[in-house]
Structure 1
Amino acid sequence: MTSRAVPGSVRAARLVGAARRGSRRLPPTVRDSLVPALLLLNIATTGAPQGLPVAVALTAALALPLVWRRRAPLTVFGAVAAAAFVQWLTDVQLPADVALLVALYTVAANAGRRATLAAAVVAEAGALLACLRWATDGAFLTPFVAVTATVVAAAVLGLNVRTTRAYLAALEERAAHLEHQQDQQARLAVAEERTRITREMHDIVTHNLSVMVALTDAARYAQHRSPDRATAAMLQISETGRQALTDMRRTLGILRTDEPDAQRHPLPGIAQLEALADQMGAAGLPTRVEVEGSHSHIPATAQLTVYRLVQEALTNTFKHTPAGTRATVRIRCSAGTVTVDVTDSGPCPPPPGAAPSGHGIPGMRERSAAYGGTLRAGPLPGGGWGVRTRLFLDSAGAASA
């Protein structure tokens, strides 16, 4: 580590750099074996013949431990430092001293800060001893500063590599976490959309099939006594079937951007409640609709929710009440809320099985909860059955309706 050894060290450093650049695609063990091999080749081809065996032995002691530097960086550094101290004791100058810098870099890149500091102190002590013994013409300061700079550079470079490696590992972990989180959100969105479509299909199929069955029974009953009424019922069955197909295409068409029915037919809303009441009346459930306030400011999704709530409530009334029952639908619209009130004149208390079961009431509760509402369904004090809820248009859950 003297000024006389600087050309040899520079040449060795260049060989080490060339070896690292040319071996990036090799396995780590093979890559680490190239540095000792080049150092041994360098001393074998450039060393003086009279001291060659000692130089080769010391070079091997300095360089060969580097083969295992990634597996045990602290142990390898200790072995190299011990070999360097033996070299100092035997007063032999070698370009292979660069192995101590490589070992220091490996400690800084793979061990903690305390281990790096300890290794840097040992390397600096070696630099001091080398300069005290081998500095020529009293030129101690210049080689000492130069060697100290290389020690600091090796430690700082290793710390930077370690920091960069930790940063990249944190980025990979964060990316994996974000990917997992995104995958979970996608699954939740799919599950939510599946639930929404299932709810829509349940309402569409249950309502329209109930109406079509009732109209079919009525048409069969009236086909001999009143052919005109039977014909009207059959026409109503056909219209109900077409409406059901349209609703199904509209619901499923949301999943396809090329589905024309989703654009041709607007979502049903409060304005379509009169047509729904006429349909229920034709099926045998006279229904009156009362709308208070303007509904022009109500979003289409909220109007669809109101429509589906009324449709399901009327379907339940139609299925679970005897003939002669009448239904009333009251909708009250204000700036921030919509109140839905559906009542019927069925028997009270309801007979066994009259209380709606299955997915109807839970589905209505889910729709209402999406707008911050609480649905109440049950017998009325004066007789009949009632379904009531209030939707809050500014509710945070409205988007999920």
Structure 2
Amino acid sequence: MSTAVNDSRVAGARRADAGLAAAAAAAVFADALADGGEGGWGLMLLTSVAMCAPLAWRRTEPVAALVGVMLGALLHTALGTAVPDSALAFLVALFACYSVAAHAPLTGALAGLAVAVAGSAAVVRVADAAAPVSDFLAPALFFPLVWGLGRVVHGRVVQTLQLRRSAQRLEAERDERARAAVAAERARIARELHDIVAHGVSVMVVQSGAARRLLESDPATARRALEHVEATGRDALAEMRRMLGVLRRADDDLALTPQPRLDQLDVLVRRTRDAGLPVDVRVEGDRTELTAGVDLVAYRVVQEALTNVLKHARATRAVVELRYGATALALEISDDGRPGGTPPAAAAGDGHGLVGMRERVTLYGGRVEAAAGAGGGFRVSALLPYDAGGSP
């Protein structure tokens, strides 16, 4: 609930209570005139207002309002401006007792009940010093009854406020989850775009460089390299359109291509070979049907590793190994490029691709390692459980 709406409700309640106090004062004054109270109409009006005016603060200061009403009733009775058995004056006191029970905490409400019972007894004593005990019984019975009703209302009001706060908290948590989901989706799209652009541009740079060197000596080969650059660029653009399509309205009715999977690995390997890097693919074990998410992550791991080899390793050969085990798929991509223990991407001051790769694999309960190979070059290995949760 907004602050403006809450302030408007509070102001409305205050106006209503002020109107109630004015109406009660007018009714008590008219009742005193009709009953022929003493002191003239001016004094009657003054004592009626003194008794009923505190009702304007019955919600904000309920205990003080009750004390004011009871003191006004004592004044009203002591000056003789009201007959001792005035029903309206008694109803005003009962309503003040109800208000203190409904709007004050328990300690204040109990104190208010004591003030109401004692005040009513004082009014009876002031009206008739020789009043019998029976005249004190009515206040002793009615005030606790209306006080109990007020506490029931108080409990319901507190429960309503708690439910409202709980609903506001749940709404805030829902909004926070929605924001987190949006952030996660943006990160996923960023990783996808990185994979698409990095691999495509790496292949295009290698091929265009080869075409430039062969343009005069071997025009036919240079032409084929440029055709490969064009095809790679078109494929990268198509994948980028597919990824960015999720940001468009759902009713655009886009015919989006499916996410890449390991059954498209031969296309990725062919592109890498066409870029000038020989790649061997080795598969061990019986192929296992993978979930869409694990399939996509496995493809992206191979794609990122080959992209890094093209960009940084200065390798002459790469090997992609897929080992289908009983419970998990093991991937290993190695090359014979630059020796040493520095990851290719880190050596170039990048590292975002490897970070994204680790995030993807970890999301599916797997693990990934990137380190120098035992005989030189670089090796990326990943283990992806078949039954991993998560989503791409």
TM-score by length of 2: 0.82
- Alpha-carbon deviations, 1:123-155, whole Å to 9, x = none? 3456678889999xx9987x8776555423421
CA 222–248 in structure 1, closer or farther in 2 if over 3 Å, else same: same
Please tell me whether the aligned partners of residues 222 and 229 of structure 1 are also in contact (alpha carbons under 8 angstroms). yes
Query: Residues of 1 paired with 2:210 and 2:247: CA distance?
Result: 37
Superposed CA RMSD: 3.3
Look up the match of 1:341: 332
Query: Residues of 1 paired with 2:259 and 2:185: CA distance?
Result: 17
CA 100–295 in structure 1, closer or farther in 2 if over 3 Å, else same: farther
AA matched with 1:34: A
Look up the match of 2:217: 225
Look up the match of 1:330: 321
- Percent identity between matched residues is 35
Please tell me whether the aligned partners of residues 70 and 120 of structure 2 are also in contact (alpha carbons under 8 angstroms). no
C-alpha deviation, 1:350, in angstroms = 6.7
Please tell me whether the aligned partners of residues 32 and 68 of structure 1 are also in contact (alpha carbons under 8 angstroms). no
C-alpha deviation, 1:282, in angstroms = 0.6
Look up the match of 1:197: 189
Structure 2 SS opposite 1:168 = helix
- Alpha-carbon deviations, 1:279-304, whole Å to 9, x = none? 10010001112233454521112111
- 2:31 paired residue among 21, 42, 45: 42
Query: Residues of 1 paired with 2:341 and 2:148: CA distance?
Result: 84
CA 31–86 in structure 1, closer or farther in 2 if over 3 Å, else same: closer
Look up the match of 1:98: 91
- Report matched runs for 1:133-212 at 5 Å: 150-212=142-204
Please tell me whether the aligned partners of residues 328 and 342 of structure 1 are also in contact (alpha carbons under 8 angstroms). yes
CA 294–78 in structure 1, closer or farther in 2 if over 3 Å, else same: same
AA matched with 1:303: D
Structure 1 SS opposite 2:364 = coil
Look up the match of 1:234: 226
Look up the match of 2:112: 119
AA matched with 1:182: R
Look up the match of 1:378: 371
Please tell me whether the aligned partners of residues 284 and 323 of structure 2 are also in contact (alpha carbons under 8 angstroms). yes
Greater Cα shift, 156-165 or 268-277: 156-165
Query: Residues of 2 paired with 1:349 and 1:71: CA distance?
Result: 76
- Alpha-carbon deviations, 1:314-373, whole Å to 9, x = none? 0111111336x1001111224532211000111322789774541121111111111222
Query: Residues of 1 paired with 2:25 and 2:165: CA distance?
Result: 36
Look up the match of 1:304: 296
Query: Residues of 2 paired with 1:183 and 1:84: CA distance?
Result: 54
Gaps of 5+ in 1: 1-22
Look up the match of 2:65: 76
Please tell me whether the aligned partners of residues 55 and 92 of structure 1 are also in contact (alpha carbons under 8 angstroms). no
Query: Residues of 1 paired with 2:302 and 2:156: CA distance?
Result: 62
C-alpha deviation, 1:244, in angstroms = 0.5
- Alpha-carbon deviations, 1:172-224, whole Å to 9, x = none? 22222122212211111111111111111111111101101111122222233
Please tell me whether the aligned partners of residues 253 and 259 of structure 1 are also in contact (alpha carbons under 8 angstroms). no
- 1:360 paired residue among 330, 346, 353: 353
Query: Residues of 1 paired with 2:251 and 2:108: CA distance?
Result: 65
Query: Residues of 2 paired with 1:57 and 1:72: CA distance?
Result: 22
- 2:386 paired residue among 363, 386, 393: 393
Q: Alignment length, in residue pairs?
A: 371
C-alpha deviation, 1:235, in angstroms = 2.2
C-alpha deviation, 1:67, in angstroms = 3.3
Query: Residues of 2 paired with 1:269 and 1:82: CA distance?
Result: 85
AA matched with 1:38: A
Structure 2 SS opposite 1:341 = strand
Gaps of 5+ in 2: 1-11
- Alpha-carbon deviations, 1:18-59, whole Å to 9, x = none? xxxxx9794543443322223223323x22266755765654
AA matched with 2:35: G
Look up the match of 2:7: none
Look up the match of 1:215: 207
Greater Cα shift, 179-188 or 108-117: 108-117
Structure 1 SS opposite 2:383 = strand
1:279 equivalent to 2:279? Answer no
